[in-house]
Structure 1
Amino acid sequence: MTSSVRSSRRTTTGAFQEAGLPVRAKLAAAWTSFMFLYLYVDYLHLYKPGSLDEILVGVVHEFETGPTFVGLALTLLAVPILMVVLSTTLPARTGRAANLVVAALYIPFSIYNATGEESWDYAYFYAFSIGLEVLLLAFVLRAAWTWPRTVRATAGRDLGGARV
C-alpha cells in the first residue's frame, strides 16, 4: 500500500469534525422545530374521537370558536413563526432579549395546553408533545442566554490592563 493511500485512510477514519453553527442558526432551527411541533399537535388532535364534532358545533376545548378565537390562535402560532426570521435578522442584543422573553412566555403556555385534556387515554400524546415543546424552548433559552460575546478592544489599554 502506498503512503498516500494510507494517509487518506487515516483522515477519513478519525472522529467527525464538529462544524460550529452560529447561534442565530441554532435559534432559527429550534423555533422552526417548535412551530412544526406546535402545529402538528393541534392537527393530530383532530384525530381524537369527538374533536371534529366539537369543532362543528363551534367549541374547541371549552372556548367558543369565532373571530376572536381564530385571531388568538393565529397570533399564538405567528409568534414562533416570526421568531424564526427575527432570530436571524435582529441585532444580537435585541435578538437575544426577544428569544429569552418569548421562550420564557411560551413555556407556561405550552404547559397550560395540557390542562384542557380531560381524558387519560391521550395523556401520553400530550405529555410527550408538551415535553418536546418545553425541551425546545429550554434549548432556545440556553442558546440565547449563552450567546457568545465579542471582546471589545479598549483604546490605550491592552487586554492585560497595562497602559501602552
Structure 2
Amino acid sequence: MKKTILEDFKINIKIKLALLWASVTFLYLYGDYFELYVPGKTSGIMEGTSLLDNPQKLFMASLLLAIPALMVALSILLKPIVNKVLNIIFGLFFTAIMLLIAVTSFSEWRAFYVFYAILESIITAIIVWKAFNWPKQTDLQETI
C-alpha cells in the first residue's frame, strides 16, 4: 500500500509571529466581550464604577491593548532585529500580565477569564520562544 504524505511548507517566522499576535488579540476581545455577561458588570459600566472609570484609565487600557493588535502588522513589517526585540519584550510583558490576571481572577463567574488568560499566556510565551530562536541566515560568502 502506498503511503500518502501530505505536503507541508516552511512558514516564515514573521508570519508565525503575526498569526500568534492575531490569536492573542482575538482572545483579548472575546474575554472582554464575555465579561459583559458577568452579573453586575454592565451596571458598573453604566454607573461609572467599573475598573475603567475615568478618561485616563480608559486611555491607558486603550494604549495597552493597541500593542498586540499593532504587533500583528509590525511582526510582518519590521526588520528582523527590531522585530525580534519587540516580540520578546512585549511577549514577556503580556505573558506576565495575563498570568497575574489568571491568578487573581479565580471565581465561578470568571472561570472563562482564567481560561482565556492561561491561553493568552501560553501563546505569548510561544511568541517569546519563537522570537528568541529567530532563524539565522547562513552567509553564502563563508561557504565559498
1:78 aligns with 2:59: no
Identity %: 29
The aligned residue for residue 88 of structure 1 is 76
Higher alpha-carbon deviation: 105-114 or 129-138: 105-114
Distance 1:64 1:100, change over 3 A: closer
**Residue 122, structure 1, aligned to residue 109, structure 2:** yes
8 Å contact from structure 1 (residues 39, 77) kept in 2: no
Q: Where in structure 1 are there 5+ consecutive unaligned residues? A: 1-9
Tell me how far apart the structure 2 counterparts of residues 26 and 91 of structure 1 sit (CA, whole Å): 15
TM-score, normalization by structure 2? 0.89
**How much is the aligned-residue C-alpha RMSD, in angstroms?**
2.1
Alignment match of 1:46 (pick from 27, 36, 39): 36
Which of 1 and 2 has greater Rg?
Answer: 1
- Judging by fraction of residues, say which structure has more helix: 2
TM superposition shift of 1:112: 2.4
- Consecutive unaligned residues of structure 2, counting only runs of 5 or more, are none
Deviates more, 1:69-78 or 1:119-128: 119-128
Q: Does 1:142 align with 2:129?
A: yes
With normalisation by structure 1, the TM-score equals 0.79
In the other structure, the counterpart of 2:22 is 32
Match of 1:152 in 2: 139
* Aligned counterparts of 1:88 and 1:68: Cα–Cα separation in 2: 31
